[in-house]
Amino acid sequence: MSNNGFQPKLLAFCCNWCSYAGADLAGVSRLQMPHNLRVIRVMCSGRVSPEWVIKALSSGMDGVMVLGCHIGDCHYIDGNHRTKKRFAILAKLLGTMGINPNRLYLDWVSASEGVKFQDVVIKFVDRIKELGPTPIGAYQGVKVDR
């Protein structure tokens, strides 16, 4: 199957204090960014529920990113530690559900790392392009507009 012209639909959950500010810095710095990423600001990466990720993938998103504060720098003390543990389990769960765990990406981006935000987004887009469209919609009868 050829993925020529495939533009993945991606969702990023970004913590308010660090990664969302890093995304903002990338924008005001006019760094070139893929246009197919939608960002949802959450107060802490620790607030991102695994159900939200599964819902996003089952609703037609081709990949989901969760970006938070660096370990040890969480504004809510241990939210990113919770996220790291939770998403290791979620990756295994996705695998047992028949969903490639590489459709999930977790990383830490601070408010001063606009270039890093750009870099992780570009690399994630490339990864998802290699994987191709999500197969979930075909399994559940979900129509995914491209």
- Domains (ranges, CATH) in the chain? 10-140 (3.40.50)
Q: What is the DSSP letter of 44?
A: -
pLDDT at residue number 141 = 47
The pLDDT score that the predictor gives to residue 2 is 53
% of the chain at pLDDT higher than 90: 84
Q: Can you name the residues that pair with 98 across neighbouring β-strands?
A: none
Please give the Cα distance from 122 to 99 (Å, whole number): 21
* Residues 38-88: tens digit of each pLDDT: 999 999 999 999 999 999 998 999 999 999 999 999 999 999 999 999 999
Burial readout 130-139 (b: 16 or more C-beta within 10 A, e: otherwise): ebebbebbee
Structure-token pair, residue 37: 């990423």
Buried b (16+ CB within 10 A) or exposed e, 62-82: bbbbbbbbeeeebebeebbeb
- Region 9-36: what's the mean pLDDT? 96
- Provide the mean pLDDT of the chain: 91
Q: What is the C-alpha radius of gyration for the chain, rounded to an integer number of angstroms? A: 15
